[in-house]
Structure 1
């Protein structure tokens, strides 16, 4: 009787183990299936619309602010609130995700963003002055909370569905982000001309709402099995390579928004371009980023060139800045429109190469130091990286604008090139040191 009982227990354990493995395989398919493609498509369009919603107001919002009695300087601060709140709130998302799950966060982030933009459409009826500015700040802040929740939840969901294609999936995400940033201003300007202030905002808010309903059906529920080790920010940020990777997010964020701020006055002064031509030139880095992101992700996942690609990307960013306006002290030759366009193309390539592989690299390094390869660790990485990038995007206009006014474009270019080259050396040295150390030391507990 005891033998039969033992066999029955073994059979039940085997069935349970098989069921768990089946669930894990369902969440982590080795090949693209219809469900995984739908998850990827939903995430792609969510990121694209999220970025489009932030950039869709750029053609007309400064003018609306002026009509409401708000100066250009204050309107710039209203834009910056989004990145500041994103920077502050993102680290807390990792603790929320362990309590309520990524699916609820995914849908909730879309709903929050949708409602904020739908309400934003009716701010044209708000009285002029302080009340208008306060309501803009509140809606931008709440929408930033929704965006940070969505970013962390979406990336964690994609990582659970595509565990062996983390960099490739990140390349798809970066492509969606860049397409949203690229198309947003053009679409916003057209919709504003057709239907006024409300139409572009109602359009974006409505599309985000539709995506939220689609996410309810498409996004899987990934529940914690109760055996995951709690993650620690302190232990995570004690890892040298992780700190350097987060600095990469921060520096690239500063670089991106610095260019957006200083390129207009620079081109107006040097080439006397119209604003429409400047707008077209600013689209070049986003197009080159979109074309290269998935390729760099593929090379990082399948060729295992992640660190080399990131190192190459940082150097590309330095070279791109140099080509935009090389200092006359180093090269007396006058560079023109061709080198400017080449620099903008190379900047998109550099940003793509820098950003795409380092998520997987960060996860690999965390696991080397005792962190588990699970949803909690991925949430920690995505929330911290989102916070670092947002802080860079917030500081970019401040740092870039101040330096442009204080030292001029040539010296600003020289300074940024020097920082990027030195940082590339730091990145490579830290990576080589971590690999050498991990080859002789056992993994440290987190």
Structure 2
């Protein structure tokens, strides 16, 4: 049974995940089209999405390092407040003059929103791992249901509100929803006291396995960022869909992720040795999904709407397989190299996770937007598939090296044991010969 503190934490984290992700995901169906009307190119739209990731990256690293000094509860509540205010302000940007002024304001407001979002999520991950140390993946996987619900409801709700009421209403309504969660979390969220640690991110990155897991996180977020910035325009231009239908198509990505996450979390908590297997399987699945999303030009398959929806579902399921095991795996790596158990270490792990995730979210929209602008959506999706395939190969190679190392260590230990046994036998024979009486023939 959960204690009162654990139940309140779950309620709080669920509200943070849901509110933050629904506000984040409403832009997908209509903002790229609106930004193009205001004079932004496809590359600039990618940069607007990408600047969110850069600001989130910086915020996650700094705030993750100083989470104990700032206070985990205060960081989460302040982050929610900043993010909600920025979401509301973003709703008034359609009144700004088209061109450089509109684009500049988008960058400024989006960047501040990202810092607030980074503060809330960094604190949420760290507090969850602190309060549920033995069930990190299970709890995070269960909370990802609410992340998935936010991602599921955001695009269709945003598209419907935009079509029905215009540009401002989606941001104002959902920004106010997030603002209501500030006093709610002040009341329900427990306070956590901790001692600061002297460890650093750089020491955490000296572990090879940590770097590989970070690369997995990077490819996942790069793929999501790419789809956020480019999928709506591709679906509208290729299939002639409205923004409302584009929001429904994005359900194909969010729903499988929402369903798969708690199952993967429970399974990887119960059988930690399966984490690498899930990372590899998820990478292969993502590779297939991205290569058939366009589909890839070299496959010579005609693009069809049903195929697009099915591949989005496959990518969403692969995200559940790959994303959920990564956070507890980095925690394991931190403890393996001697980090102290506590909120400070969990804050750094959470900050590193957020920073790497944001690096991918920066890379995905920008590089994806450039490839779409100069080549096509099909080629850009293929590049994302190639990234997923590369990280799969790295994980397989790492696992093989680990098995070979353990096998050699076992053989070396067995050999040394045999040598020790033979040396002991020789010593015993020598000792017994010294004690035997001599036969002297005169």
1:430 corresponds in structure 2 to: 398
**Cα offset for 1:260?**
4.0
Distance 2:164 2:242 in 1: 23
1:51 aligns with 2:12: no
Residue 371 (structure 2) aligned to one of 382, 392, 403: 403
Quick check: 2:278–2:321 contact (8 Å CA) kept in 1? yes
Larger Rg: 2
Distance 1:68 1:343 in 2: 32
2:290 corresponds in structure 1 to: 321
Distance 1:389 1:282 in 2: 20
Counterparts of 1:50-89 in structure 2, within 5 Å, are: 50-62=20-32, 65=35, 74-89=44-59
Counterparts of 1:20-39 in structure 2, within 5 Å, are: 31-39=1-9
Could you tell which deviates more after superposition, 277-286 or 238-247?
Answer: 277-286
1:297 corresponds in structure 2 to: 265
Distance 1:337 1:140 in 2: 31
**Cα offset for 1:176?**
2.5
**Cα offset for 1:126?**
4.6
Quick check: 1:241–1:431 contact (8 Å CA) kept in 2? no
Distance 2:63 2:77 in 1: 14
| Change in 2 beyond 3 A, CA 1:126/1:420 | closer
Distance 1:97 1:324 in 2: 40
**Cα offset for 1:312?**
1.3
Distance 1:120 1:337 in 2: 32
1:350 corresponds in structure 2 to: 318
Distance 2:161 2:228 in 1: 23
Counterparts of 1:350-429 in structure 2, within 5 Å, are: 350-406=318-374, 408=376, 412=380, 415-429=383-397
Distance 1:88 1:59 in 2: 27
Distance 1:342 1:57 in 2: 22
Distance 1:118 1:409 in 2: 31
Distance 1:260 1:61 in 2: 10
Residue 137 (structure 2) aligned to one of 164, 167, 191: 167
Q: Number of aligned residue pairs: give it.
A: 408
Q: What are the Cα deviations for residues 74-94 of structure 1, in whole angstroms up to 9, with x where unaligned?
A: 454333321121122221112
**Cα offset for 1:68?**
5.6
| Change in 2 beyond 3 A, CA 1:199/1:406 | closer
**Cα offset for 1:46?**
1.2
| Change in 2 beyond 3 A, CA 1:64/1:403 | closer
Distance 2:261 2:142 in 1: 7
| Change in 2 beyond 3 A, CA 1:40/1:60 | same
| CA-based RMSD | 3.1
**Cα offset for 1:186?**
2.3
1:242 counterpart SS class: helix
Counterparts of 1:183-262 in structure 2, within 5 Å, are: 183-193=153-163, 195-224=165-194, 226=195, 229-262=197-230
**Cα offset for 1:357?**
0.8
Could you tell which deviates more after superposition, 52-61 or 391-400?
Answer: 52-61
| Change in 2 beyond 3 A, CA 1:138/1:265 | closer
Could you tell which deviates more after superposition, 301-310 or 317-326?
Answer: 317-326
Quick check: 1:47–1:176 contact (8 Å CA) kept in 2? yes
Structure 2 gaps, min length 5: 411-442
Higher relative contact order (CA 8 A, sep 6+): 2
| Change in 2 beyond 3 A, CA 1:97/1:129 | same
Distance 1:269 1:197 in 2: 21
Quick check: 1:267–1:278 contact (8 Å CA) kept in 2? yes
Distance 2:380 2:98 in 1: 38
Quick check: 2:226–2:365 contact (8 Å CA) kept in 1? yes
Structure 1 gaps, min length 5: 1-30, 442-446
